[in-house]
Amino acid sequence: MNTDCVLNLDLKLNICSNLAEFKLYEDNSYNLFMQLYENLSLFFENKPVKMKHYPPDYTPRSGFYHLTCENYDHTGNEEDRVPNLKRYERIQWPKAIIENIQKDCPHLRVWKNKRHGKTNILILCVELKYVIVLSERTNYLLLTTAYPIEYEHTMRKMLKEYELYKKQESSLI
Q: What is the DSSP string of 48-105?
A: EEEE---STTT-TTHHHHHHHEE-TT----GGG-EE-HHHHHTTTHHHHHHHH--TT-
Mean per-residue pLDDT of the chain: 84
More confident site: 58 or 118: 118
20 is a domain residue? yes
Neighbours of 136 (CB within 10 A): 14
Indicate if the pLDDT at residue 63 is higher than 70.
yes
Prediction pTM value: 0.86
Domain count of the fold of the chain: 1
Q: What is the DSSP string of 144-167?
A: EEEEE---HHHHHHHHHHHHHHHH
Taking the C-alpha atoms of residue 97 and residue 42, their distance in angstroms, rounded to an integer, is 11
67 is a domain residue? yes
Least confident piece of the model among 53-57, 84-88, 103-107: 53-57
148 is a domain residue? yes
1 is a domain residue? no
156 is a domain residue? yes
In terms of Cβ atoms closer than 10 Å to its own Cβ (0-12, 13-18, 19+), residue 39 is exposed
Q: Which domain holds residue 46?
A: 6-171
Indicate if the pLDDT at residue 70 is higher than 90.
no
Q: Compute the Cα dihedral for 124, 54, 139, 90 and give only its sign.
A: negative
The answer, yes or no, to whether the previous bond of 56 is cis (omega within 30 of 0) is: no
Among candidate residues 68, 72, 34, the one with its CA nearest the CA of residue 51: 34
Taking the C-alpha atoms of residue 127 and residue 129, their distance in angstroms, rounded to an integer, is 5
Least confident piece of the model among 18-27, 32-41, 104-113, 118-127: 32-41
